Amino acid sequence: MRTDRKFDETRTVKITDHYLMSPQGSVLIEMGNTKVICTASVEESTAKHLAGTGKGWVTAEYAMLPGSTGTRKKREKGKADGRSVEIQRLIGRSLRSVVDMEKLGERTIWIDCDVIQADGGTRTASITGAYVAMVQAMKWMKDQGLIDQLPVTGYVSAVSVGIVEGETLLDLCYTEDSQAKVDMNVVMTDRGEYIEIQGTGEESPFSKTELLELLDLGSKGCSKLHEIQKALLCE
């Protein structure tokens, strides 16, 4: 049983905007002890497969720094490992789902998520923080006269849920995640739409009733994160 918060509460969330000086968008997102630096950089060219179409692209890279875990994690030199590739693809898909690529124009927004401290939920924190950094970069583009309006159709956040010792929990820390019977990540828009659901029965199958309970928890967590994003972006 949790002692620091209720089953349906997230960890303490803090997003520090304009965290770095050079990128067009940057934040430090903290969810409990998990800390991720998310940056967004604008490049005046689109992906090769979109050249000449008038459409832009959003893509992401993800890495865990050597000191982010209990034992040193080796640096990824030259090529990201399988887990990192999976996560950065998830981040890219999640953000692209709410971007109007035609309004973005033939540009690329590069998202970089670097985990400086990991205690569970690094991929979901990365998505939530990266969205804010991306919109910051779009606001910079508008201020520079590169675009007329922000090319986003909604907000995106993500949170983990799971079943630990028979109890459904929101926003799992590492200890809870490592003991979870069911582990799930939920990515949603602020309109209550699902972008992606990643769920696994780690020890045994789970029921439809349990699935719906987890989705309800995920929706509650994402709604809270959307409120934090909106307050930060002054909307």
b/e sequence 77-107, b meaning 16+ C-beta within 10 Å: eeeeeeebeebbebbbebbbbbbebebbebb
| 5 is known to lie in a ligand binding site | no
Element housing 218 (H / E): helix 208-232
| 72 is known to lie in a ligand binding site | no
Question: Would you say 101 and 151 are in contact if contact means Cβ atoms under 8 Å apart?
Answer: yes
| 83 is known to lie in a ligand binding site | yes
| 108 is known to lie in a ligand binding site | no
Q: How many CB atoms lie within 10 A of CB 143?
A: 10
Please, what's the largest Cα pairwise distance for the chain?
Answer: 56
Q: How many CB atoms lie within 10 A of CB 216?
A: 14
Single-letter amino acid code for the residue at 224 = K
Annotated binding site for phosphate: 83, 121-123
Annotated binding site: 83, 121-123
